[in-house]
């Protein structure tokens, strides 16, 4: 279990670092949006590339931030029901959900998105809008984002199994303001 917990801490550190980094992408997206609006309405000109860049940045924040969201235990759940159960029962629910729902669908979506990325890269796919951007970089965010989410799912599974076996604290008990729970183990 010690080796698995070290792996979990490494995954947590990876997603925490990426999560802190993508926070800056929000600022970049706001700056691009504001700059685009100023140019469009002030100079009466614009470029589809700037609009698409905003979309790409939003996609990066959403897709690359999914693992970080899971790390911080901020994903959607049915707390109104699960909160009535003991911490151990909640951990078992998380184990079941991770093994039978999260990991299979994340792996499937990641796997199915890869051929689309390769095809886009091979064809040098461009936006159909005039002045648009290459499409493969934004499509590449899908398998990367789902890989990060799958890795974090594995980390969360390890932490819950460690808790259930008495080798770690309850990972669901941490505050969303805490450092990655792997640092606490």
Q: 116: which strand partners?
A: none
CA 137, 142, 145, 150 dihedral sign is negative
Cβ-Cβ contacts under 8 Å for 68 (sequence gap 6 or more): 15, 16, 18, 19, 22, 152
Question: Is 59 strand, coil or helix?
Answer: helix
**Residue-wise pLDDT tens digits, 83-137:** 788 889 888 989 999 999 999 999 999 999 999 999 999 999 888 887 778 889 9
Closest by CA to 133, choosing from 147, 145, 120, is: 120
Residue the block writes with tokens 């505050």: 175
* Domain boundary assignment for the chain: 2-74+81-183
Is the pTM higher than 0.75? The answer reads yes
What percentage of the chain exceeds 90 in pLDDT?
Answer: 59
Lowest mean pLDDT among 29-43, 77-91, 112-126, 168-182: 168-182
pLDDT value of position 44: 82
Cβ-Cβ contacts under 8 Å for 80 (sequence gap 6 or more): none
Q: For residues 30 and 180, what is the distance between their CA atoms, to the nearest angstrom? A: 27
Question: Is 69 strand, coil or helix?
Answer: helix
């Amino acid at each position: 279990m010690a080796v698995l917990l070290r792996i979990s801490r490494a995954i947590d550190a990876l997603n925490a670092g990426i999560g802190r980094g993508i926070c800056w992408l929000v600022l970049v997206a706001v700056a691009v949006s504001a700059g685009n609006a100023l140019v469009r309405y002030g100079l009466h000109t614009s470029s589809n590339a700037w609009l698409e860049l905003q979309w790409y940045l939003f996609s990066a924040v959403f897709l690359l931030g999914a693992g970080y969201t899971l790390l911080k235990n901020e994903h959607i759940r049915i707390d109104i029901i699960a909160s009535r159960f003991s911490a151990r029962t909640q951990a078992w629910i998380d184990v079941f959900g991770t093994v039978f729902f999260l990991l299979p669908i994340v792996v499937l979506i990641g796997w199915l998105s890869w051929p689309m990325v390769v095809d886009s890269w091979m064809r040098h796919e461009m936006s159909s809008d005039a002045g648009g951007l290459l499409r493969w970089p934004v499509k590449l965010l899908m398998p990367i984002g789902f890989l990060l989410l799958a890795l974090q799912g594995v980390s969360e599974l390890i932490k819950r199994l460690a808790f259930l076996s008495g080798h770690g604290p309850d990972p669901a008990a941490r505050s969303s303001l805490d450092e990655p729970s792997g640092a606490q183990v």
